Amino acid sequence: MKTELQLRPANMNDADCLLAWRNDRATREASLCTARVEVADHIKWLRSAISNDQQRLYIAEVNHRAVGSIRADREGECWILSWTVAPRSRGKGIAQQMLKCFIEGCNETLLAQIKVNNIASQKVAVRAGFVLQDVQDGIFFYQRNAD
């Protein structure tokens, strides 16, 4: 029996899986910041992220199993999104489901900054209604306006 993907707010109990996903080689290659993150820095960042009203961090779950995360950072009137899928859950449409679930609860302008070589995330963004606005220094800038 398949359960739909659900998003829940991240908490400190998610620190280990979030750090493992963040430091995964494929995740780092697709990220704007490719450096490995140390445990102490990650814990400090996570504490700040879950208490900051200008940031949203969600864990995506299927059948109560964490399969990815999606983050939104407030910038003016927009939210800048980033997402990652757990290595064992890649290739199953999880990113598309996460983004769809997030968008359903958000009626604001959304932005995504995606590396030129991150074809998978570009496809996810376009399918979710994001439109390419600009390209600078190897980064595609996508936007999805509020409904």
Q: What is the DSSP string of 86-99?
A: -GGGTTSSHHHHHH
The C-alpha atoms of residue 87 and residue 84 are separated, in whole angstroms, by 9
In CATH terms, 6-144 corresponds, of 1.10.8.60, 3.40.50.720, 3.40.630.30, 3.20.20.70, to 3.40.630.30
How long is the chain? 147
Tell the residue number behind the tokens 């449409």, with chain if given.
Answer: 93
Whether the pTM exceeds 0.85: the reply is yes
Q: Which parts of the chain register pLDDT below 70?
A: 1-3
| Predicted local distance difference test score (pLDDT) of residue 1 | 39
Annotated domain spans of the chain: 6-144
How is residue 108 annotated by DSSP?
A: S
Tell the residue number behind the tokens 């290659």, with chain if given.
Answer: 29
| Predicted local distance difference test score (pLDDT) of residue 2 | 55
| Predicted local distance difference test score (pLDDT) of residue 62 | 95
Tokens encoding 28: 């780092």
